[in-house]
Structure 1
Amino acid sequence: MVVILVDDAGLTDFAPFGGEAKMPAIQSLADRGTKFSNYHTSPLCAPSRAMLLTGIDNHRTGIATIPEVLTDNQAGQPGYSMFFEPGVRTLADRLKVSGYSTYMTGKWHLGSREQDLPNSHGFDRSFALDASGADNWEQKPYIGYYAFAPWYEDGKPADLPEDFYSSKFIVDRMISYLDSDKQSSQRRPFFSYLAFQAIHIPVQAPREITDTYNGVYDQGWHSMRKKRHQRAIALGLIAADTPLAAMPAKSKKWENLSPEQRALYTRAMQVQAAMLESMDSHIGRFVKYLDDRGELDNTLFIITSDNGPEPSYPIEISGMKTWMSLNGYNHRLDNLGEKGSMVAIGPEWASATASPLNMFKFYAAEGGLRVPLIIAGPEIAKQDWQSAMTMVTDITPTVLDYLNVTDQQTDAVAITGRSMMPLLDGSASAIYGDDDAIGIEVSGNSALIKGNYKLTRNSPPHGDNIWRLYNLALDPGETNDLRAQQPEQFHRLMEDYERYENEVGVIPPATGFDYIKQTKRNSLRKLLSSNWQIFALSAAAVLTLIGLIIKTIYRRRQAKPL
């Protein structure tokens, strides 16, 4: 049993979904399995990971949002502890007691205390990054919120090898864990969870792969999003009459950029494609490893993304360039994507990688929620596209159903997702009915999907906190707000959403919430908290020096003759 989680991939980023990156390993798995065109996750990484690994709504796991954007009114409240709360059991917990060996490598981001790491949540072996991201070439942080890159092996602080590259290392370490198991004839069934850093900021990849995408993105984001829209139609991912969502209101226009700016943005997108290709090559190594062991044909694969594409462009945030220079980062065209470079694609490219959908990560628009999902393995029907509505919370119950595993622990928090097996074996065309209301909320970005309709609200800076109503069957790009035309439907869904908020314990963020400003505020607070002794000593030294200067001046004045 293998779960592969990609970080920040948009709906059309994977090659089988219309992306430009060469991804033969994922393409091969998609070709022999089922591709989902209407799969939804949460708009942020940690809540999505919590939901994926437990099958439980994020507010009931304790990870309603991420620490980086947590507001004061949420901190310490039930559902907002930022770690798995009592009674929350992971897929690894459930499989381990059923005789499975359980392994995890890559990004964790589900609690920073010793008891929050993978080894305390069902994983026999783990090499985990307990942060939202980190450098892909070295062991160092990528933003000021973190003082270092916190990697742990089996719950203990760990160092990375000299030849570290994240995608390679995540696969290498997983293979080493599987190799340490008994011989194939005696080996227990296993669960491998590979959580890649690709394609989270900083976007980084080997130059030789990046160079192969020269010319691919030279026409800019407007051109690419139209091409992806057309490819999505040609592939059957979306209907032929699906409207293309508009770019975010404050988007830069490609034609207004200087040649130097275009070169940097173009190269950044090349690096992202190269990072996907590099990740896929290492996934291919892992697939071959299982094949060589005679286990490929008996392995279930689930491949997906934690949320939509990353819009943040930290290079333009005030103070970031100073932090970069202090931490060994630059943003130069000559080494973009290589060791020491800070790379992000920004909101314009992010909008294009979610094409034809609206917006991106952080937001409850379809671009933040609807991502690729591929399931392949024994007895999984080959389907070009499965269009039924599905959720990230459906993955754990699907795996348990597929493996015929029953958890006997009676005091566990109840799973809220549903098994997708009726869709995978062809016995049903839907697992949610028209009357089933599915709520989603992270840091004020909210949605409720019921039948073909979706109610949604998005916060600043790209949102405006206004509720809107869409028909996703006709308009997955959310181009036509139906609130004024269908007020009764709008009010019914609002009642459903309010019921969802009360049931799961949503605590809206403080008034005026903006995730970029909140991240800066929390980063500064954490910096001061972690280094208060240094700041106190520095302040004392400065005050002492000022005192000495004043004392010296006073003595000199006293010594002068009248």
Structure 2
Amino acid sequence: MPEQEFHGHIGRTYDESEEWWPEQTRPPEDAPNVLMIVLDDVGFGQVGCYGGPIDTPNIDRLAENGLQYNNFQTTALCAPTRSCLLTGRNHHSNGMGLVTEASTGFPGYNGSIPHENGFLSEMLVEHGYNTFAAGKWHLAPAEETSAAGPYDEWPLGRGFERYYGFLSGDTHQYYPNLVQGNEQIEPPATPEEGYHLTEDLADRTIQHIQDAQSVAPEKPFFAYFATGACHAPHHVPQEWANKYEGEFDIGWDELRKQILSRQKELGVVPENATLSPDDPDIPHWDDLSDDEQTLYARMMEVFAGFLEHTDHHIGRILDFLEEIGELDNTLVLVVSDNGASAEGGPGGSVNEMRFFNNIEEDLEDNLEAMDALGGPEYYNHYPMGWAWAGDTPFRRWKRETYRGGVSDPMVVHWPDGIDAQDEIRDQFVHAIDIVPTVLEAIGIEAPEEIKGYSQSPIEGTSFAYTFDDPAAPEQHTDQYFEMLAYRAIYHDGWRAVKPWEFGKPITAEDLSATTIKETGWELYNLEEDFSEAHNVADEHPEKVLELAQLWWAEAGTYDVLPLDGRAVERMAATGRPQVSSPRDQYVYYPGGESVPENGAVSVLNRDHSITAEVDIPQGGTEGVLLAHGSTNGGYSLFVLDNRLHYVHNYCGIEEYQITTDSEIPADVAELGMEFEVTGEPDVQNGAGAPATLRLYYDDDQVGEGDLPVTIPIMIAINAGLSCGQDLVQAVTTEYEKPFAFTGDLTQVTVDVSGEPFVHHEAVVKRIMARE
């Protein structure tokens, strides 16, 4: 280790001196590789080996040669769970009580994982492991994910030696916001050339392992493979979705019954398990119209293809490990981060920009889009009824602390270290238990210090004791749950749940525990009621009170307090640290990275201007000056046919274009536009402020037009702002990306002296749907 004190001797000359080299860091002999595969928004009842209707032959073969766990628990939300998986500490202990975009100024919710809570990657790299990460991160404060950094919460700052993926909660699968190391990069190919993010991530994972093994084949690795799948958008080549044509015409009510039957055949659930009750938020399939059934069934076909496609690329990684002789000595863990997602709403969505901007989706329009779902044109998500079915046999879904939100599939495969094969384990296991299990499997202790930071205790419990003993007594016997004031507590086979209304502020009066009636807790005996179908709180009031009090004790221990049920106010909280201060002018320079949405200038519903300093070459020029957004909504100021153009893409529904009356003179120094608001926005109905748009060559007005409606709330999901070219996805059909400016562009200044407009309820909707 380089920091070791020199133990040789330094004389006046080499002959009088004695060399000494620091002892090399090496892992324990025969230490296994570790491959952690984290799926996104995949429910307990969706994977094939868990009785699901989707073919997942590669995850299934891991289960056939390894172990399945039917009592694996998460936090109910993506980033909080991932923080547990990588640190072995509870999500509130990690400051990740919610997603980083909704951080508040309390230790359990500040959105920044303390360095005292070291990552598994930081632990293993100090023991001589290579550490690689590919895919979704979402563990750095949202305001710190631009080129301005800081970078210490990015993957390379938390112990990973190589990283390739995306930093946000979700991304487009054909036009992703890619980061390699600490730099933003363009995807290596286009969808027309066959590009898809999952394949790319698998390629990079294989490459990372192959590169290291070629040089030091005896050196073990830790690979973290976190797919964007199966989070929305549900993107997959048509042939994968078409395989499931007609498979879901039966609807979600019948599908739940079929899944439960298969789960019992496979032994994934007990024989006495029953379906949880019908959900009041889910319509019965037979009550839907024929058109609704047709569209919704196709949306599920696309999701099914998406998951099988993901499984296929997981198989490619497994095949590679088998080819190089490392599969049997690799501890493979496959998990999902939370229950299936109901964020598609009752009718699903084909364009989330409409959802985020309060523009009601039209059934007829969505039916017209049906044949192209899964392709790059749409940003689609299935209806919440399929999430309900995907979490069979449990109730509810992601974000809630019923088992549908927190009980997820987990498969463990390690032939060299586990004798048992094709067996089910029913001991309680939580996401915080992964790290101590990996450390025990390797044979190392959690470090007391990492990079000068004294380490907090690991809060999870190793479940290695279950590997070869299905009857081993459960060792993780108590576990609290909290998400958005939804609460639950597990204790020795009992589970108490306190449901909560999303966005309802929680007061001291709501928390009175003086009587059972006032607590509002539900109680389930999981020994007899695997699926939480029968609330027995009235029969066991003493147990309810015991568990409610235990929850409070756990909450006090793990920084869960203060409880916060707010939504709008919480997302709009002031005081959250920012990389830069708000300003009236934003200056952008050509050729750099695109600026993420949360770091870009906000121009919606306010007067603003854009001025580009240019030098026009002889013969004219073309290209983008400034673009913000994507094909699903945004704006672009660009030159085409030697004229200045402005396009406002209203959420992929309509493009409004204003063009100059004359060509650009050779001596012009500035190209500009002015946006003047002419009316009030109608945000509730999806209409941003109307405006008059004026175009300028220097100080001369050379074009004018009206924008009858503009984007009201949010410009871009994944495509940010770029200067001198249009990165990620072209905002308009008038050109193909990147359409770089061919003249000399010095800088572009955006003036936003007008008062900013913020619709906080919409901000909540955007943040919560993207985690």
Structure 2: distance between partners of 1:93 and 1:340? 40
Which residue of the partner structure matches residue 676 of structure 2? 542
Structure 2: distance between partners of 1:101 and 1:226? 45
Q: Mean Cα displacement is larger for which, 409-418 or 534-543?
A: 534-543
Residue 417 of structure 1 aligns to a residue whose secondary structure is coil
Please give the root-mean-square deviation of Cα atoms over the aligned residues, in Å.
3.0
Deviations 1:50-95 (A, max 9, x none): 0000110111112111134x2xxx6122122212113010110000
Which residue of the partner structure matches residue 379 of structure 1? 417
Amino acid at match of 2:173: N
Q: Tell me, yes or no, if structure 1 residue 159 matches structure 2 residue 213.
A: no
Alignment map for 1:334-413 (pairs within 5 Å): 334-377=371-414, 378-380=416-418, 381-410=420-449, 411-413=454-456
Amino acid at match of 1:137: Y
Amino acid at match of 1:214: E
Structure 1: distance between partners of 2:548 and 2:105? 28
Which residue of the partner structure matches residue 553 of structure 1? none
Which residue of the partner structure matches residue 103 of structure 1? 132
Q: Any conservation in 2 of the 1:41–1:369 contact (CA below 8 Å)? A: yes
Which residue of the partner structure matches residue 460 of structure 2? 417
Q: Tell me, yes or no, if structure 1 residue 426 matches structure 2 residue 469.
A: yes
Which residue of the partner structure matches residue 153 of structure 2? 116
Q: Any conservation in 1 of the 2:70–2:268 contact (CA below 8 Å)? A: yes
Residue 92 of structure 1 aligns to a residue whose secondary structure is helix
Shift of 1:320: 1.9
Q: Any conservation in 1 of the 2:521–2:544 contact (CA below 8 Å)? A: no
- Aligned with 1:483 (options 537, 540, 550): 537
- Aligned with 1:251 (options 282, 294, 306): 282
- Aligned with 2:241 (options 198, 207, 210): 210
Q: Which has the higher contact order (CA 8 A, sep 6+)?
A: 1
Higher percent of residues as helix: 1
Structure 1: distance between partners of 2:603 and 2:371? 40
Instruction: State the TM-score, normalizing by the size of structure 1.
Output: 0.87
Shift of 1:307: 0.7
Which residue of the partner structure matches residue 631 of structure 2? none
Amino acid at match of 2:131: T
Cα 1:93/1:431, change in 2 over 3 Å = farther
- Aligned with 1:225 (options 227, 238, 256): 256
Higher percent of residues as strand: 2
Shift of 1:182: 4.6
Structure 1: distance between partners of 2:675 and 2:249? 54
Cα 1:412/1:185, change in 2 over 3 Å = closer
Q: Any conservation in 1 of the 2:59–2:311 contact (CA below 8 Å)? A: yes
Q: Any conservation in 2 of the 1:459–1:514 contact (CA below 8 Å)? A: no
Structure 2: distance between partners of 1:205 and 1:45? 21
Cα 1:390/1:334, change in 2 over 3 Å = same
Q: Any conservation in 1 of the 2:485–2:564 contact (CA below 8 Å)? A: no
Q: Any conservation in 2 of the 1:2–1:191 contact (CA below 8 Å)? A: yes
Q: Any conservation in 2 of the 1:379–1:425 contact (CA below 8 Å)? A: no
Deviations 1:321-342 (A, max 9, x none): 58599xxxx8411101111122
Structure 1: distance between partners of 2:533 and 2:676? 58
Q: Tell me, yes or no, if structure 1 residue 442 matches structure 2 residue 496.
A: no
Residue 181 of structure 1 aligns to a residue whose secondary structure is helix
Structure 2: distance between partners of 1:275 and 1:426? 35
Amino acid at match of 2:43: G
Q: Tell me, yes or no, if structure 1 residue 297 matches structure 2 residue 328.
A: yes
Q: Any conservation in 2 of the 1:439–1:448 contact (CA below 8 Å)? A: yes
Deviations 1:86-145 (A, max 9, x none): 301011000000000000000010014222111000100011311111111113xxxxxx
Amino acid at match of 1:453: W
Structure 1: distance between partners of 2:598 and 2:174? 28
Structure 2: distance between partners of 1:208 and 1:528? 36
Cα 1:101/1:221, change in 2 over 3 Å = same
Residue 250 of structure 2 aligns to a residue whose secondary structure is coil
Q: Tell me, yes or no, if structure 1 residue 320 matches structure 2 residue 320.
A: no
Structure 2: distance between partners of 1:126 and 1:156? 10
Cα 1:321/1:374, change in 2 over 3 Å = closer
Structure 1: distance between partners of 2:597 and 2:197? 26
Residue 116 of structure 1 aligns to a residue whose secondary structure is coil
Q: Any conservation in 2 of the 1:243–1:477 contact (CA below 8 Å)? A: yes
Which residue of the partner structure matches residue 39 of structure 1? 72
Instruction: State the TM-score, normalizing by the size of structure 2.
Output: 0.64
Cα 1:258/1:382, change in 2 over 3 Å = same
Shift of 1:375: 0.5
- Aligned with 2:301 (options 270, 275, 282): 270
Q: Any conservation in 2 of the 1:422–1:428 contact (CA below 8 Å)? A: no
Identity %: 26
What number of residue pairs does the alignment pair up? 523
Amino acid at match of 2:116: G
Shift of 1:478: 1.6
Unaligned stretches of 5+ residues in structure 1:
140-148, 547-562
